[in-house]
Chain A
């Protein structure tokens, strides 16, 4: 196990930009190389229902768990019809030969019981070709209504044991829900599970709202609202849905806010006299610090994970480009040098990459580059892609894709940082400006 992890970590350090799965006829693992992708085949027999009331939950949890794994693009599910062996009991001995015969490399088994409002799930992960269990059995307890979260947590454990990295399934995304035609768009804040389930609206559509940003723990959301008549940053408490205006430095407009990683400071853009600069406000002391002071547009700031630096966009060179400056302001280094314009930079949770929106030759792209600007990689291309947001493990990026013209509509998409597995988030209705929150406790 230690050797496996070391291999994974080494491989990961070598090729940060290319997560690729390679099927192995050895210990179950995903090796990160830049070779050809070959998803790991897995089998997830429907979890055993240990109590009479648990049948539906067992089927649903198995289904969502499998969907999570498939959705990564790193795993391929073997259909239940192909199974030779059945797993009728969680405690029975695994017939490895039967699973090898259908080429399953990973096998997940589980059992579900319901007692009143309480849901208990036990599960095990097997490395079929090695013929042994990978990690120990684990038990998770939650509520019957919270069954999807339990399923996501099981998937996060399975993903973590095979990749050696944290998962991202038990997480939520705050975004802007959109209705109405392009010329008369109504927008309201909404929150959902990462996979588009359990949508709740956090505001009504009486005032325009833009670009929500989760706090690092997911307890609060910063967003831009026209509720006061002018664009102003609001803070919303997710649990109570109470909201209030952020007391920024004096200015005509405030927008593009983002929390520091400790959640105690907010960086944002403030416009005065037509000039937009970046400011920082300490939520505890109420102290405001001006971080840029230039006649150009400085906006879209994002902290590095250690809080020491800020990446932002500026048109000080004549067009939008990306810059990095110390968190206290001061000398900024330009990091984007390719063709076209670069905006909306977001520092990755691992600290090594910056995701951005690029405009070039009439197309929009979501891309990533190292923090020194090297190894730029465009992950998408369309008429209008923008606003990347990182998954908690820094492996996937969610963004807005908008179609143009009178019937144009916004939807959310995700793509992995190698540019693979581009897929829409399954949602009814328009959506934009996703902000991916942390793994839930």
Chain B
């Protein structure tokens, strides 16, 4: 018990100090990540093709999924082709791939489903030549909807992955 406690505590400290916290939802004051084009005010960003703002807004950081599926649609693959090209050009950036689910499911299952979706995106980007060490995945399950109505028009927006470009960089 004592040993476990010590190990666990050390592990937590290392994890927290060694990397930038990628959880953009829980740290609204952090502005070192870009996602969904929200919270980004620089006008030059969007027109600069090497900027994360260009990535999120012009190429598209979001890929949508059908109900209870982590299969990439043709439209999704097209978006990811653009993401892969951008990542190959802009080698100093890394990415966190978020997986999300709509609210029509239980909490645990949706966490696992979000992990599946994020991984499907990661595998596709890796298949297009992106180094796996530049990509991390995280699932939010149904915790962070981007649209909040109780209709398929919103649910379809929430079954998504979001590729969040990291400016600061993350240790792999």
Interface residues of A (CB under 8 A from B): 181-183, 185, 206-208, 210-211, 224, 226-232, 235, 244-247, 252-253, 255-256, 269, 271, 273-276, 283-284, 286, 297, 299-300, 313, 315, 319-320, 343-344, 357, 359, 383-384, 386-387, 402, 404-406, 408, 433
Once bound together, how far apart are the Cα atoms of A79 and B27, in whole Å?
Answer: 53
**B8 touching A247, Cβ below 8 Å:** yes
Once bound together, how far apart are the Cα atoms of A47 and B136, in whole Å?
Answer: 63
A244, A275, A433 — which one has the most chain B CB atoms within 10 A of its CB? A244
Count contacts on B: residues with CB < 8 A to the other chain.
Answer: 51
- With an 8 A cutoff between CB atoms, is B128 at the interface? no
> If A183-B148, A206-B26, A286-B4 touch, does A343 touch B11 (CB 8 Å cutoff)?
no
A271, A284, A315 — which one has the most chain B CB atoms within 10 A of its CB? A271
- With an 8 A cutoff between CB atoms, is B74 at the interface? no
Minimum CB distance partner of A285 in chain B: B4
Once bound together, how far apart are the Cα atoms of A185 and B140, in whole Å?
Answer: 12
A-B contact pairs, 29 of them (CB 8 A): A185-B143, A208-B25, A208-B26, A229-B19, A229-B21, A229-B22, A229-B23, A229-B138, A230-B23, A230-B138, A231-B139, A247-B7, A256-B111, A271-B112, A271-B139, A274-B116, A274-B120, A286-B7, A297-B112, A297-B116, A299-B108, A300-B108, A313-B108, A319-B68, A344-B107, A384-B103, A405-B148, A406-B149, A408-B150
**B108 touching A406, Cβ below 8 Å:** no
Residue from A227, A253, A274 within 8 A of B16 (CB atoms): A227
Per-residue CB contact flags for chain B residues 1-21 toward chain A (1 = under 8 Å, else 0) read 101110111011001100111
Minimum CB distance partner of A343 in chain B: B106
Residue from B16, B23, B103, B109 within 8 A of A343 (CB atoms): B109
Minimum CB distance partner of A182 in chain B: B148
Once bound together, how far apart are the Cα atoms of A61 and B149, in whole Å?
Answer: 45
With a cutoff of 8 Å between Cβ atoms, the chain B residues found around residue A229 in the complex are 15, 19-23, 138
Once bound together, how far apart are the Cα atoms of A206 and B29, in whole Å?
Answer: 11
- With an 8 A cutoff between CB atoms, is B70 at the interface? yes
Q: In the complex, what's the smallest C-beta–C-beta distance from B157 to chain A, in angstroms?
A: 11
**A383 touching B150, Cβ below 8 Å:** yes
**B108 touching A344, Cβ below 8 Å:** yes
Q: In the complex, what's the smallest C-beta–C-beta distance from A227 to chain B, in angstroms?
A: 7
- With an 8 A cutoff between CB atoms, is B163 at the interface? no
Q: Which of B101-153 contact A (CB under 8 A)?
A: 103-109, 111-113, 115-120, 122-123, 136-141, 143, 145-146, 148-150
Minimum CB distance partner of A226 in chain B: B23
B12, B19, B21, B118 — which one has the most chain A CB atoms within 10 A of its CB? B12
**B148 touching A297, Cβ below 8 Å:** no
> If A182-B145, A208-B23, A406-B149 touch, does A231 touch B1 (CB 8 Å cutoff)?
no
With a cutoff of 8 Å between Cβ atoms, the chain A residues found around residue B4 in the complex are 247, 283-284, 286
**B22 touching A255, Cβ below 8 Å:** no
Interface residues of B (CB under 8 A from A): 1, 3-5, 7-9, 11-12, 15-16, 19-23, 25-27, 68, 70, 103-109, 111-113, 115-120, 122-123, 136-141, 143, 145-146, 148-150
Residue from B21, B139, B150 within 8 A of A228 (CB atoms): B21
Contacts A386-B107, A408-B150 supplied; 18 other A-B pairs, CB < 8 Å: A181-B148, A206-B27, A211-B107, A211-B108, A229-B21, A232-B15, A244-B12, A245-B15, A252-B115, A256-B108, A271-B111, A274-B115, A297-B112, A297-B116, A343-B105, A344-B106, A344-B107, A384-B103
B103, B108, B146 — which one has the most chain A CB atoms within 10 A of its CB? B108
**B148 touching A208, Cβ below 8 Å:** no
**B115 touching A271, Cβ below 8 Å:** yes
**A252 touching B106, Cβ below 8 Å:** no
Nearest 5 A/B pairs, CB to CB? A274-B119, A404-B150, A245-B12, A276-B112, A405-B150
> If A228-B21, A247-B8 touch, does A359 touch B104 (CB 8 Å cutoff)?
yes
> If A226-B26, A404-B150 touch, does A387 touch B107 (CB 8 Å cutoff)?
yes
Q: In the complex, what's the smallest C-beta–C-beta distance from A121 to chain B, in angstroms?
A: 38
Q: In the complex, what's the smallest C-beta–C-beta distance from B11 to chain A, in angstroms?
A: 6
Minimum CB distance partner of A387 in chain B: B107
Minimum CB distance partner of A264 in chain B: B1
Q: In the complex, what's the smallest C-beta–C-beta distance from A366 to chain B, in angstroms?
A: 11
Minimum CB distance partner of B16 in chain A: A228
Once bound together, how far apart are the Cα atoms of A226 and B136, in whole Å?
Answer: 15
With a cutoff of 8 Å between Cβ atoms, the chain B residues found around residue A206 in the complex are 26-27
Once bound together, how far apart are the Cα atoms of A402 and B15, in whole Å?
Answer: 34
With a cutoff of 8 Å between Cβ atoms, the chain A residues found around residue B103 in the complex are 384, 402, 404
Minimum CB distance partner of B121 in chain A: A274
Once bound together, how far apart are the Cα atoms of A246 and B8, in whole Å?
Answer: 6
Once bound together, how far apart are the Cα atoms of A226 and B112, in whole Å?
Answer: 15
With a cutoff of 8 Å between Cβ atoms, the chain A residues found around residue B1 in the complex are 283-284
A227, A274, A386 — which one has the most chain B CB atoms within 10 A of its CB? A274
